[in-house]
Amino acid sequence: MLFLIELWESVRGFIATGGNVLYFVALALFLMWMLMVERYWFILKEYPAIRDNIISRWDNREDTTSWYAHRIRETWISENNEMLEHNMITIKTLVAMCPLIGLLGTVTGMIGVFEVMAQQGTGNPRLMAAGISMATIPTMAGMVAALSGVFFSSRLDTKVKLAKAKLVDSLPHH
Containing structural domain, residue 70: 22-170
* Residue type, position 98, single letter: C
In a domain, 4, yes or no: no
The CA-based angle 99-13-29, given to 5 degrees, is 30
- Residue 123: the pLDDT is 66
Residue range 87-94: mean pLDDT, rounded: 95
- Residue 122: the pLDDT is 67
Question: Which of these, 161, 169, 109, 171, lies nearest to 140 by C-alpha position?
Answer: 109
pLDDT single digits (tens) 120-145: 766 667 767 777 777 888 888 899 99
- Residue 54: the pLDDT is 93
In a domain, 67, yes or no: yes
- Residue 36: the pLDDT is 96
In a domain, 127, yes or no: yes
In a domain, 11, yes or no: no
Instruction: Report the domain count for the chain.
Output: 1
In a domain, 101, yes or no: yes
Is the confidence at residue 90, as pLDDT, over 80? yes
Q: Distance between CA 114 and CA 108 in Å, rounded?
A: 10
